Every structure is written in structure tokens, then in C-alpha cells.
Structure 1
Amino acid sequence: MQTKRVPFTYTRRGFFYFSRRIPNDLLDHYDTDRIVEGLKTKSASVAKVRSLIAAAKLEEYWHQLRVANPNLPGVHRLKVVGGSHSMTTVQAVRDDLGPKLSHSLDVYFRHKGQDKSKVFFNVSRRACGYLIDVAGDKELGLYTRADALAFRDGLRKKGLVGSSVGRLLNCLTAVFNFNVHELDLKFQNPFSGVFLDKKAGTKKRQAITIPQIHKIQAACRQEDDDIRWLVSLISDTGMRLAEAAGLLCDDFDLSGGIPVVHVRPHPWRTLKTDSSKRTIPLVGQSLWAAERIVAMTKPGDFAFPRYNKGDVTNSNSASASINKWLRPFISPDCSLHSFRHSMRDRLRAVECPADIVDQIGGWTTSGIGQAYGSGYPIAVLEKWLKEAVRPQ
């Protein structure tokens, strides 16, 4: 059925199809008199954008008569004229387009996925999946700036905040750039430089105040159960919730001169970044929590078995239950994750050097020199943590 509100299209079973008759003076270049391509959408607004883009590309091609345009719609319908030379020309156009996005992602993972966490793979797959939903799975050279803008705007309509949209855009940019450079493709990355307000929809996470921390810690000692041990452990180490919830009893070492917890990757709980792998001295409330955990669990067991009943640590369940319990103690803009913000502020308050703060919290420290050596000794970290958690 022809559609008037969406130019150059008709619908079939609810889906829109782009349809454009080839001008009479150009019929010799094709083996058909009309180009028809599925727009892979039932949305009139999306179909309108895609049909106008396709029409503009064809007009540009027809105006310039340049077969090698990598963004040419209908290139698969070009007729072979004069034998192998024309076939080579058409193949060159296809080669210049690069592989389809799904295959490009596989190439990207094969070369860049060594020693990467599940987060790397999941976010990259999610980004490419969103793009395929918006513009289809096509050769890289066929994606346009309009596709990039539709991708960005679609994510905002889904309710994703600016920082999350930016993370997905960065993933797509990385996939495109790697394949363009690796395969020596001759087109620009349409996702490079896309404008994005990364603060859109975001709220600044507030730190939990020192008096609030002390009230929470007192309540934890009074209730003295595994949930409160988890809160206590996080409160004076600044660990991420998933890092703490996925610990084993064996990750605690209380037998040496300085009691510590080893934050390391496990099959059921990976780490966010390479710098997240670290050893943290246990002081204050975190030491109390560690002693309770080691006393109540067996070697080799999970420190928090209620959040590790499946193949993956269920940090979402932990977050929901703990944040509900914390609500009376903290301001509305705070959550369990705010303990990480508080720890950074507490270390700043005692004038702890920034690179020591980063090592304690598992934050990535910029600078080439930071990659050298093994970091600060545990005794140095313990000194600053004791200063930070000391009652004021």
C-alpha cells in the first residue's frame, strides 16, 4: 500500500519499504527499473527519515554518476556491463563498505577482547544491538550520520541518562574505528564527534556524611548479621557492592601483621577495570565485619552466600534490600554506592595523595608512570585509611 505521509515508501504487512523508480536516462546502468529496499521498521517517523536519506543518496549518485560511492543504496542491483571489469567495480564498492556490524563486532572481540571483563563484552553487544534495532545490521560503510543521531535520540527516549548514552556511543565508535583502521576502509566514522550532553538526566551522587556513617555502623553492630557485615565492610573500605558481595572467605587474610581483603576476579564476579584488582587494609568497622565473616564461614565458602546462589553474584538483589534498609539513615540523594564517594572525601580530608586514594578505591590513575611498579606498600595504605576512619 502506497503511503503519502512517508515519501518514496509503501507498506507490506505493516513494514515500510523504500521504492524509487530509476530515471529513464539511467536505466542502462541497472538490471531493473525500480529500486526497492526494506526499511525494517513499522514506525512512520523512522521510515520517513530512512527513506529521505536513501533518496538523497540516490540523487547524489544519479547526479554525479559515480559508482564508487560507498553509501549507494541499491548497489546490489547494478548490472554487470562489459564483463569482469564491471563486476570488479561492484565488488570494490562492496569491499569499501566493510563487513556487516555483527561481523565487525566479532572481529573487534577477537582482537581486543583478550583479558577483558564481561562488562566489556556486554556493553559492546548492547550498543551494537541498539544500533541494529534502529538502522539494521548492514555494512559499516552504509551507516550514516542520520543513523548515529537516531541511535543517540532513541536511547534518550528509552530513558537512558547522558552518561549511559555516552558509554554506548563510545563502544560503537571503538568498534567502527578498529575495523576502519584494521581493514583500511575509506570512509569516516559517522559516530565520531556526535554531540551529547553527558549530564542530561543525571543526578550528582551525594556522599554520606560522617555522622550518618557512624549511625549506620552502630546499627550494623547491633543487628550483627551478614547483610550488616556487608554494609560495614563497604563503609570503611569504599569497595563496590559487587566486589564485596562476591568475596570468598579465603579472600580475607587476618593472620598476617596487617589484616587485608584481596579484591580479585572470580568466575561468578568479574571486576570493572584492571585497576579494580587490589588489596585493601582492613581498619575500623571493615575489620570488625571481616572478623565476623571469617568466624562464621568456612574456608572456601562464599562470604555472602545469600547473594551467590547461582552462577553470577546477585548484586542487584543486595542493592535493593540494603538500600531499603539504609533509607532512614541517609538523605534521599544517597545510596549504598555513596559510601565510595564518602571514602574519597574522607581520604581527601586527611590530605591523602590522590594516587593512594585511587589505589585504595580501585580507580584508574592517569599518567604513563602509574603503570610502572607494584603500587604503594600495604603499610602505607593502612596508615592513610586509619587516618580517614579515625573518629573526628
Structure 2
Amino acid sequence: MINLVEITQEYVELKGINPKPVFIAVNRLAEVCGSKTIEDYTRKDARVFVDSYKNVSRFGKVTTTTVRRRLNSLNAVFNYAIYELDLPHRNPFARIIIKGEGKDATTREPFSVAELKNLYKQSLAHGKLRLILPILGETGCRLSEVLGLSKDDVSEVDDLYVINIRENDCRGLKTENSKRSLPIVSKSATQALQKLLEAKSDSPYLFPRYASCGYLNNTGASATLCKYLKKSFDGKTTHCLRHSFRDRLREADVPLEAIDQAGGWSSVGGVGTNYGKGYSMPKLAEYLQRIAI
């Protein structure tokens, strides 16, 4: 019978999804339970997999939310294998209960406007990787979305830079909704982008130290940035910028559909929100201008 890695590779290729998060879970399973054929994994293995996260790893403590995400990846792979291979048994990774799930979640406050101004000023003066911070804060993008931008992903429309979040040779995207184009209306983000585009480099990527063809060091960039942010901004992380972006748009009375479109979030507005092309670039720029720093 087919082994775990083979069926996982087949699954991610057919689904056309980013293989990295799926293989993080699959490789962990193989590490703690051994590499087996798909039908040899049991409910006991699923329990061993969950229990393996109880101890603090070299990457720090893993939250129950992260464990759930990894279980979901395995659940999807095993569901696919059971149907495709016509296996007679149940999915051993379905309906797993994680003790204390959600109770270890920490709530971080979003950045205030004053903190953002201070952050952007420091970042523009420092340069290098920190130039990504004004762009993240003023677009609501995920770290990997901007870290993996190539120079070809940046265009100019009506005297504004536009970043085109799309799959490239460096990285894929988290969801279908992640694919989008965003006008850069903020002075801080524009200055950061200009510095990146003007930097002398033969690489096609804006952050050549972290991005290259077939490779994105998102973990390394995240660790570097979060170390700085946690020390200087009361424990905040890069993801707090994304939360702040949504809050700021909400406070500026920007329509929910426009907020979802800008941040690449799945719309919660019902079926009708999926019809049409969404807001035009000028209209989106108008909404982003309401919160621009």
C-alpha cells in the first residue's frame, strides 16, 4: 500500500495548496510514530501525535490552536487517502479532543496609531528587513505575502505603487482569497517600498536575504522581527499589525466587503459577496486613505 508521504504529495498536488503546513504535520507524525503505510496508522498514533506537543520544543511552546491546525492537515490527508484507496477503516485523526484547547491562547493588544507612527519612523531609519513593517501595517498583509514579493509583483497605477499578492516561484498563498492587488496610499509604506526597489541587488525579490526561487525563510524573518517588536512594543508581534489594520478600517467605517478584500480574508457577508470583481483600485485606495499613516 502507499505510504504517508506519497499520499500527502499526491493530495497537495491535486488540491494545489501550499505543501509546507501539511508536511510540517506529516513529518512530525512520521517522527513520533514512524513512517508507515497509510492504513497502518491508528487512533493511538493520533494520541501520540497530540501528546508529543505537550513538551516545550526548541521552537518554543506550541499552542493548542497550532496543534489543532496540524491535526486538521492530517485529518484532510487521511480523509483523502481513505476515499481514494477505498480503505475500510475510519479516519484515526477525526474528532480528536485536545485537552484544554483554547485555554492557552494569549490576547495581544493591537498597535495604537501613536505606536504605528513610532514603529514606522524607526523602521524607515533602520532599513533592511524592518522596511517590511510599514508595508505590513498599512496593507494588512501576512508576513509571507510581502516577504515573498518579487519586483515584478510591484507595479504603478495612477502614480501609486500597487503590490500584487499572487503565487510566484518563491511561495504560494494561504487561500484563494489571498490573491489580490493593493494600492499603497500611505506615505510611510510608499517610502519603505521605494527603498526596497532602489536597493542594489541582482535578485528579483525585494528581500533577497529571505526569499529566493523555491525558498522563503518566513520563520527566520518572523523571529527577527518579533524579537524586536516584543522588546520595543510591549510583546506585540507582526501579526498584531494585521489585527490593527482591520480595527482601523472598521473604525473608519469602511464596508466589511472592502475590509475583507484588502486583507485577503474570507468574506462572512453571505453568498452574494462572492459575486462580481470586488471594489475597483481607485475605490479601494479611497478607503485605505482613510487610515493612511
TM range (shorter): 0.7 to 0.9
Instruction: Give the TM-score taking structure 1 as reference length.
Output: 0.64
Contact 1:249 1:298 in 2 (8 A): no
> Which residue is equivalent to 1:114?
14
Check 1:187–1:238 CA distance in 2 against 1; reply closer, same or farther (3 A cut). Answer: same
Which of residues 342, 352, 356 in structure 1 aligns to 2:254?
352
Counterpart mapping for 1:298-313 below 5 A:
301-308=204-211, 312-313=215-216
Give a deviation string over 1:348-380, Cα, whole Å, max 9, x none: 111222222121112223554444432221122
Q: Tell me the distance in 2 between the aligned counterparts of 1:144 and 1:114.
A: 25
- Overall identity of the aligned pairs, in %: 29
> Which residue is equivalent to 1:208?
111
Structure 2: stretches of 5+ with no match in the other structure: none
Check 1:225–1:153 CA distance in 2 against 1; reply closer, same or farther (3 A cut). Answer: closer
SS at match of 2:110: coil
Contact 1:238 1:339 in 2 (8 A): yes
Q: Tell me the distance in 1 between the aligned counterparts of 2:230 and 2:11.
A: 45
Check 1:137–1:364 CA distance in 2 against 1; reply closer, same or farther (3 A cut). Answer: same
Give a deviation string over 1:245-292, Cα, whole Å, max 9, x none: 222233222353543111222212332222222111111221232233
Matched, 1:259 2:157: no
Check 1:187–1:316 CA distance in 2 against 1; reply closer, same or farther (3 A cut). Answer: closer
Which of residues 189, 203, 214 in structure 2 aligns to 1:286?
189
Q: Tell me the distance in 1 between the aligned counterparts of 2:192 and 2:34.
A: 51
Q: Tell me the distance in 2 between the aligned counterparts of 1:387 and 1:335.
A: 24
Counterpart mapping for 1:35-184 below 5 A:
99-102=1-4, 105-114=5-14, 116-118=16-18, 121-157=19-55, 158=57, 159-184=61-86
Q: Tell me the distance in 1 between the aligned counterparts of 2:290 and 2:272.
A: 27
Check 1:238–1:297 CA distance in 2 against 1; reply closer, same or farther (3 A cut). Answer: farther
Contact 2:205 2:212 in 1 (8 A): no
Check 1:374–1:198 CA distance in 2 against 1; reply closer, same or farther (3 A cut). Answer: farther
> Which residue is equivalent to 2:176?
274
Q: Tell me the distance in 2 between the aligned counterparts of 1:191 and 1:252.
A: 42
Q: Using the TM superposition, name which of 359-368 and 296-305 deviates more.
A: 296-305
SS at match of 1:266: coil
CA RMSD across the alignment: 2.9
Q: Tell me the distance in 1 between the aligned counterparts of 2:214 and 2:92.
A: 39
Give a deviation string over 1:209-262, Cα, whole Å, max 9, x none: 1111111123334x1634443222222112222222222233222353543111
Which has the higher relative contact order, 1 or 2, with Cα contacts under 8 A spaced 6 or more apart? 2
Q: Tell me the distance in 1 between the aligned counterparts of 2:129 and 2:112.
A: 21
Q: CA deviation at 1:143?
A: 3.5
Check 1:134–1:329 CA distance in 2 against 1; reply closer, same or farther (3 A cut). Answer: closer
Contact 1:264 1:277 in 2 (8 A): yes
Matched, 1:191 2:93: yes
Contact 1:229 1:289 in 2 (8 A): yes
Q: CA deviation at 1:347?
A: 0.9
Q: Tell me the distance in 2 between the aligned counterparts of 1:362 and 1:202.
A: 24
Q: CA deviation at 1:343?
A: 0.3
Q: CA deviation at 1:162?
A: 0.6
Contact 1:258 1:281 in 2 (8 A): yes
Q: CA deviation at 1:326?
A: 3.5
Check 1:319–1:274 CA distance in 2 against 1; reply closer, same or farther (3 A cut). Answer: same
Q: CA deviation at 1:117?
A: 4.1
Contact 2:267 2:273 in 1 (8 A): yes
Matched, 1:245 2:147: yes
> Which residue is equivalent to 1:5?
none
Contact 1:258 1:379 in 2 (8 A): no
The one-letter amino acid of 2:53's match is L
Give a deviation string over 1:294-351, Cα, whole Å, max 9, x none: 444589743233333675233334334333444554112x122211111011111112
